[in-house]
Amino acid sequence: MVASLHAEHEDRGARGADELAGPKEDRHFVTALARGLEVLACFKRGEHGLVNSEIAARCGLARSTVSRLTHTLTELGYLHHVPQSGGYRLGTSLIALGSIALAGLDVRHLARPGMRELAVFANATIGLGIRDRLSMRYVECARGETAIALNMDTGSRISLLRSAMGRAYLAVCSAAERSEILEEIRSVDDASWPKLREGVEQALEDYATLGCTRSFGEWQPTVNGIAVAFQPGGGLPPMVLNCGAPGVILTPDFLMDEVRPRLIALAQRLEGVMGS
């Protein structure tokens, strides 16, 4: 029976409602829409549902506001009300939106054969991810035949600053976007900021000298991983390929000596595949 290491998903935590108001000078920012999207984004994989008080705590909103938002989202099919518990689950309208969004990422199909090949070679998990606010979101995943694997799949979310995948994204995004991300992270996690900043600085140096970023026991104490980013073209933002597995399977030396050149080569093959 296949054993799995459960990957920890990032939780934004409760935040003040003023953080959802967007830049105060941006008169085009629709706060009500932002709050509704924040409600949808607060649900995690594997949860059977959330009641209004739990949603309010996660989003940093008043329960009365959340009550109106969940009612509206339920009427539109983006949430489903569960009478037995009084809570809400994500609705079927989101499935349609997610399917359309993923179908537009043709790069997933182009990347899949190479990802599978590398997953078998490394006996590890190969992921393809995009930025999702202060996290990275898997949009494709391939696994080796190991008996111990990371429990990651399409839709899984991981830390942007502590994971190799997130660090690779920071290495290739614009300086302006990087500054915005780091400032937002500093504002919500000031206590951890000095160590996080050191990790980012090291990651930028690694990417310039090694062609990849590393996270050996930093995202998860027992997990090692490396990542390489690429520009798919076609108006899409940067995407990232990573390779990760428990350290008992994937040592830093094997990752850097054997997996790194193959991961870099795969990313280079995907560079610009969607056209200009």
Query: What is the structure's pLDDT at 261?
Result: 98
With respect to residue 212, please indicate whether it lies within any of the assigned structural domains. Answer: yes
Q: Nearest to residue 39, comparing CAs of 79, 77, 99?
A: 79
In this prediction, residue 148 has a pLDDT band, given cuts at 50, 70 and 90, of confident
- Round the average pLDDT of the chain to a whole number and report it: 86
Residue 20: closest CA among 54, 73, 60 = 60
Please check whether residues 138 and 201 belong to one and the same domain: yes
Output the pLDDT for position 276: 52
Same domain, 13 and 88: yes
Do 125 and 79 share a structural domain? Answer: no
In a domain, 112, yes or no: yes
Q: Which domain holds residue 15?
A: 3-98
Which residues are bridge partners to 140 per DSSP?
A: 128
- Do 111 and 160 fall within a single domain? yes
Percent of the chain's residues with pLDDT above 90: 63
CATH number at residue 138: 3.30.450.40
- Quick one: pLDDT at residue 66? 96
Are the C-beta atoms of 218 and 159 separated by less than 8 Å? no
Residue 10 has what pLDDT?
40
**15's tokens:** 């935040």
Q: Where is the domain boundary, 51, 82, 98?
A: 98
Q: What pLDDT digit, counting tens, does each position of 164-206 carry?
A: 999 999 999 999 999 999 999 999 888 889 999 999 999 999 9
Over its C-alpha atoms, the chain yields an Rg (Å, rounded) of: 19
Q: Is the pLDDT of residue 23 over 80?
A: no
In angstroms, the Cα distances linking 79 to 37, 61, 103, 110 are 11, 18, 22, 33
Give per-residue pLDDT as tens, 55-108.
999 999 999 999 999 999 999 989 999 988 899 998 878 877 776 666 556 888
Rounded to whole angstroms, the Cα distance separating 6 from 135 reads 17
pLDDT for 226-262, tens place per residue?
999 999 988 889 999 999 999 999 999 999 999 999 9
**Number of structural domains the chain divides into:** 2
Query: For residues 138 and 117, what is the distance between their CA atoms, to the nearest angstrom?
Result: 18
Indicate if 38 and 85 belong to the same structural domain.
Answer: yes
3-state secondary structure of 41: helix
Among 40, 67, 98, which residue terminates a domain?
A: 98
Confidence of residue 130 (pLDDT cuts 50, 70, 90): very high
C-alpha of 271 from chain center: 20
Identify whether residues 68 and 113 lie together within a single domain.
no
Q: Which residues pair with 37 in a beta bridge?
A: none
**275, part of any domain:** no
Same domain, 29 and 144: no
Q: Is 235 a domain residue?
A: yes
Which contacts (CB < 8 Å, 24+ apart) does range 170-174 have? 170/200, 170/203, 170/204, 171/203, 171/204, 171/207, 171/208, 171/213, 171/229, 172/207, 172/229, 172/230, 172/231, 172/238, 173/131, 173/237, 173/238
Is the per-residue pLDDT at 217 higher than 90? yes
Q: What confidence category does residue 155 fall into, taking pLDDT thresholds of 50, 70 and 90?
A: confident
Residue 135 domain-assigned (yes or no): yes
> Does residue 115 share a domain with residue 94?
no
What residue has token string 């998903």? 9
- Residue that finishes a domain, picked among 39, 70, 98: 98
Residues 79 and 149 in one domain: no
Question: Is the per-residue pLDDT at 35 higher than 90?
Answer: yes
Determine, yes or no, domain membership for 276.
Answer: no
Asked whether 79 and 70 are in contact (CB, 8 A), the reply is yes
pLDDT range class, residue 147, cuts 50, 70, 90: low
Q: What is the pLDDT of residue 4?
A: 37
Determine, yes or no, domain membership for 178: yes
Interior CA angle at 134 toward 38 and 166, to 5°?
145
Lowest-pLDDT range of 7-16, 80-89, 144-153: 7-16
Task: Report the pLDDT value the prediction gives residue 79, as an integer from 0 to 100.
Answer: 94
Instruction: For residue 21, give every residue at least 6 positions away whose Cβ sits within 8 Å of its Cβ, in sequence order, or none.
Output: 29, 31, 34
80 and 137 inside one domain: no
CA distances from 96 to 76, 77, 90, 92, 182 (A): 13, 11, 12, 7, 33
Residue 10's CATH number: 1.10.10.10
pTM equals 0.73
Whether 91 and 122 map to the same domain: the answer is no
Same domain, 87 and 108: no
